[in-house]
Amino acid sequence: MFDAIDRKIINLLQENADLPIAQIAQAVGLSQTPCWRRIKRLEEEKVIVRRVALIDRRKANVPLTVFVGVRAPRHAAEWLGQFKDVIRQIPEITEAYRLAGETDYLLKIVIPGIENYDAVYNRLIRNIEFFDITASIVMEEMKHTTSIPTNYMA
């Protein structure tokens, strides 16, 4: 079970995982040791999976985002395994999802420019067969967060 203090701790860490324990403890109304224990429990229970550094994509020279919809040529475990292997080897593919509906898979690709998308596209089609691939180029990022809502935690 998670209480309001756990949710506050998680929200604080989602905003800044480098916050000192003393600052988190003060913000949630605990002393440092009980706060530290809660954080350790959240890590042990895999609520907090890992802590990462978020990189400014523009400064890393990958400002362009392309969402790619994929339709599989067949729905078979062998094809899916091969597809997973291929996309894991392409660092520009930062997210991949299996979907319900007309599109089978959705890929998020971050790259410097459209010519780089062409290189990723060619790498994909050289390594696996597709029924259809469609690309949508992001014109404006209207909302982006790595934080998830905690109000549903029970």
The domain that holds 20 is classified in CATH as 1.10.10.10
pLDDT given at position 6: 97
Total tally of structural domains belonging to the chain: 2
146 assigned to some structural domain: no
Name the residue with tokens 């003393």. 22
**Pair (76, 132) in one structural domain:** yes
12 assigned to some structural domain: yes
Contacts of range 44-48, beta carbons closer than 8 Å, 24 or more positions apart: 47/2, 47/6, 47/10, 48/10, 48/13
Query: What is the domain-level CATH number for residue 73?
Result: 3.30.70.920
39 assigned to some structural domain: yes
pLDDT given at position 60: 97
147 assigned to some structural domain: no
**Pair (40, 71) in one structural domain:** no
This prediction's pTM: 0.89
96 assigned to some structural domain: yes
- What mean pLDDT do residues 107-131 have? 97
Q: Give me the domain span that covers residue 93.
A: 64-137
**Pair (133, 68) in one structural domain:** yes
**Pair (78, 26) in one structural domain:** no
The beta strand positions in 2-151, using DSSP E, are 64-71, 93-98, 105-111, 132-137
**Pair (38, 68) in one structural domain:** no
- Percent of the chain having pLDDT more than 70? 100
151 assigned to some structural domain: no
pLDDT band at 83 (very low <50, low <70, confident <90, very high): very high
149 assigned to some structural domain: no
